[in-house]
A and B are shown apart, each in its own frame.
Chain A
Amino acid sequence: MENIIVGIIVAGAVGFMVKRFVDIWKGKKSCGCSNGCSCAGGSCSSPDPFLKK
């Protein structure tokens, strides 16, 4: 029982991760970055902080 639960969780994690990699690879997610960069909507901040103003 326990092994099945763990198996499902790990398989799920691997699945999501593979999907994510494929998305990034294909360019569907233009950005998987986190900090100082807004990814809402899958994009990055304007490259030049001065042009953001």
Chain B
Amino acid sequence: MNATVVLAGNPNSGKTTLFNELTGGRQHVGNYPGVTVEKKQGTCKTDTGRFEIVDLPGTYSLTAYSLEEVVARDFLVNEKPSMIINIVDASNLERNLYLSVQFMEMGLPVCIALNMMDVAKKRGIEIDIQKLSGLLSIPVVPIVARDGKGKQALMASVAENIGQSRQPLRISYGRDLDAALDEMEALIRPAEFLTRSYDPRWTALKYLENDQQVIDRGYKQDKATAMKLDAVVQRVRTHIAHTLDTHPEGIIADHRYGYVHSVLKQGVIRFFQDENRIQVSDRIDRIVTHRFMGPVIMVAMLMGLYQFTFTFSTIPVAWLESFFGWVSAMAEQALPEGMVRSLLVSGIIDGMGGVLGFVPLIMFMFLGIAFLEDTGYLARMSFMLDRIFRMFGLHGSSVMAFIVSGGIAGGCAVPGVMAARTLKSPKERLATLLTVPFMNCGAKLPVFALLVAAFFAESRAEVMLLITLISWTGALLVAWFLRSTLIRGESTPFVMELPPYRLPTLKGLFIHTFERIIQYVKKAGTVILLISIILWAMMTFPGLDETRTKEFEDRRSTIVSGLSQETADEIMTQKDEKLTKPMLTVKENLLQVDRDQAREALENSVAGRMGAALESITRFAGFDWRTNIALVGGFAAKEVVVSTLGTAYSLGEVDPEETASLSGRLKTAEGWGPLTAFSLILFTIFYSPCFVTVVCIAKETGSWKWAAFSMVFNTCLALLVSTVFYQIGSLVLA
């Protein structure tokens, strides 16, 4: 049997875990047509058949409150899957079944996968599966998603029940609403109003629920019928407001929960303990979200994460660095001197190597963040920070957008900008998406890692924590500035579930981390590689003209003029140890000429001139022309700052025996010190978002005005911050 099956359920019900269990590694990610909600798909092969499994976004309801709900609903209506596997958290049955009932009301084939039976048992909940299945007249299969128990039985049950026709579930919504539903159904059926997509009674129900998406669709399809339905809804609405002092949507939700409750009360569920008894999770929360302890623990958690990352990544990063050093030395020896060698060694290896060298660091960082994500701690961060965020004109959901963008480190501003969609108020949304680019995305991470390794090796975790705090403070202040000047407006509600703490599964952690590492490497191998090549060319051409080249040649001839051919060859080919003192001096002089020439060639190149032109502004922030090139390149992608510095200092490097890592080179380079490094860190935090993010901002806000604003405003801000820091720093240190 071949069939498409969707996986649906509440957030935090173990949906992703089950999806991973069912599909293993065989999954691919796309997105739902027209929107940027992720669509995961995978194949599950069992003895009963081959199933294409689509992972729907997790939702609590199908009322079109959030984008996820709309996406889930549209997919079910348009694609008409053969079966919905509705994953239901047994320890939280009532609220989970609220969603199942809505699938059944739509007349869709549902099979319940009852997850976390083990947790339920521990909490003293006993569930009569037979009875539940009988009362709802749909199959119910107990599973434990964490270890894959019951997945065979689940898929067998799915195979067995595919193709059986079923009637939409009818729930009574009280006399008033039932009468209205009947009346509306009588209008809908003959007019064939939206009947191609929805069951007539369901359409009527959505009209009563004031579901804007369905109402808009109806209005477009058949204005006359839509008006008639509107009239009925209006009448009922007024009537209910008068007699019961409430709204139809309230009554509908109450009755829906009432239906679920009545099913459960018929002996389906038995509690051996108070269901609201204090759980372990609540005890943890008492400490973790405590008035004083909460914030302290939050900072300690970040510090711990950075400490963990740096402690474990130092050695592998050093290995990779020496590996790339070895590769570049090999290439240097294998190839004759010239353009090709320079492109390969200085452009590609030293450019890309700088970025790839940080793979272990990125990996440990992601592992740590995936751990925090999977335990449920991030929801607590939103909970604790909502009030503060509101003071600055943002929203608890902005915390999520911030973290997606790299609030802890190592995210990406593009999904962060999109995450702002979960915000309902356009003003809060705008303020959020304009400030998320200040977070420390995975592309800025190698820049920080490089500078921290070179200049703050003693206190790496502390500096990383400081960087995080600066970017959050900056983002909040900018948000506040925007919200009190350009985008003023009210704040919107914040209702969120705090999922119980869970110990993440190793499999989940590895899938999470692995996916991200693959992307990091992929990006280094594609975009960063291309930009490295282009920037190398910009840093090489046009090179020096003939007269200058000749002058350098002349200087060399003068140095070696008094020597015999043999001695000259010896100086060039022999190792330093074998040379005599006067010979060493000659060699050093020759190298100095090479250095001067390389430096002048670099300064004369397209990029060099550009960088030098910018120096008149940036030197107050402590940046020389090389850094300027790197920063301009960083607009394409922030990792380029590292790769460009790699290329720039590699082009200036002439001694083939010296293959120091980039951080080693920076340490000894002229004009560099902790002050410059930190000034560059500040600039990197705040300056213009990368190209892709800018495009994304333009699309999300629907205007290029805001995209241009974020480029100009952020860059000016960054320049201001760095300059002030550098100037004050120089004064203090002087």
Contact = CB atoms under 8 A, between A and B. Distances in A.
The answer to whether A and B touch in the complex, with CB atoms under 8 Å apart, is yes
Interface of A: 2-3, 5-6, 9-10, 13-14, 16-17, 20-21, 24-25, 27, 30-53
Q: Max chain B CB contacts within 10 Å: which of A3, A32, A33, A44?
A: A33
Contacts of B461: none
| Majority-rule SS of B interface residues | helix
Contacts of A35: 362, 366, 406, 410-412, 441-443, 445, 516, 519-520
B31 A48 contact: no
A48 B410 CA distance: 16
Interface string B371-397: 001000011000000000000000001
Interface stretch (B171-179, B448-456, B526-534, B616-624): B526-534
Interface stretch (B7-15, B253-261, B478-486): B7-15
Contact of B519 (A3, A37, A51, A53): A37
Given A6-B343, A27-B699, A43-B29, A53 B410 contact: no
Q: Which 10 A-B pairs have the closest CB atoms?
A: A35-B442, A43-B31, A47-B419, A33-B414, A41-B30, A34-B523, A13-B533, A33-B412, A36-B411, A32-B692
A22 to B, nearest CB: 11
B403 A48 contact: no
A11 to B, nearest CB: 9
A43 B39 contact: yes
Q: Max chain B CB contacts within 10 Å: which of A33, A34, A43?
A: A34
Contact of A10 (B37, B373, B397, B537): B537
Contacts of A24: 691-692, 695
Nearest to B418: A47
19 contacts: A2-B339, A5-B340, A10-B533, A10-B537, A17-B527, A32-B527, A34-B442, A34-B520, A35-B366, A36-B404, A43-B29, A45-B415, A47-B67, A48-B419, A50-B400, A50-B497, A51-B58, A52-B38, A53-B58
Contact of B28 (A6, A40, A50): A40
Interface in B507-565: 515-516, 519-520, 522-523, 527, 529-531, 533-534, 536-537
A6 B37 contact: no
B418 A44 contact: yes
A3 B537 CA distance: 12
B225 interface: no
Interface string B170-212: 0000000000000000000000000000000000000000000
Interface string B335-371: 0001110010000000000000000001000100100
A13 B538 CA distance: 12
B443 A47 contact: no
B422 interface: yes
Contact of B443 (A34, A48, A53): A34
B338 A30 contact: no
A14 B691 CA distance: 16
Interface string B19-55: 0000000001111000011110000000000000000
Given A38-B519, A53-B15, A43 B38 contact: yes
Given A17-B531, A36-B411, A30 B28 contact: no
Contacts of B13: 53
Nearest to B37: A46
Contacts, number: 179
A50 B374 CA distance: 9
Interface string B65-103: 011100000000000000000000000000000000000
Interface string B156-172: 00000000000000000
Interface residues of B, number: 76
B38 A44 contact: yes
A48 B516 contact: no
Contacts of A36: 366, 369, 404, 406, 410-412, 415, 441-442, 516
A13 to B, nearest CB: 4
Contact of B31 (A10, A17, A30, A49): A30
A31 B692 CA distance: 7
A32 B412 CA distance: 10
Nearest to B419: A47
A26 to B, nearest CB: 10
B471 interface: no
A37 B415 contact: yes
A28 to B, nearest CB: 11
B480 to A, nearest CB: 23
B16 interface: yes
B401 interface: yes
Interface string B461-504: 00000000000000000000000000000000000110100000
Contacts of B523: 34
B57 interface: yes
Contacts of B643: none
A9 B519 contact: no
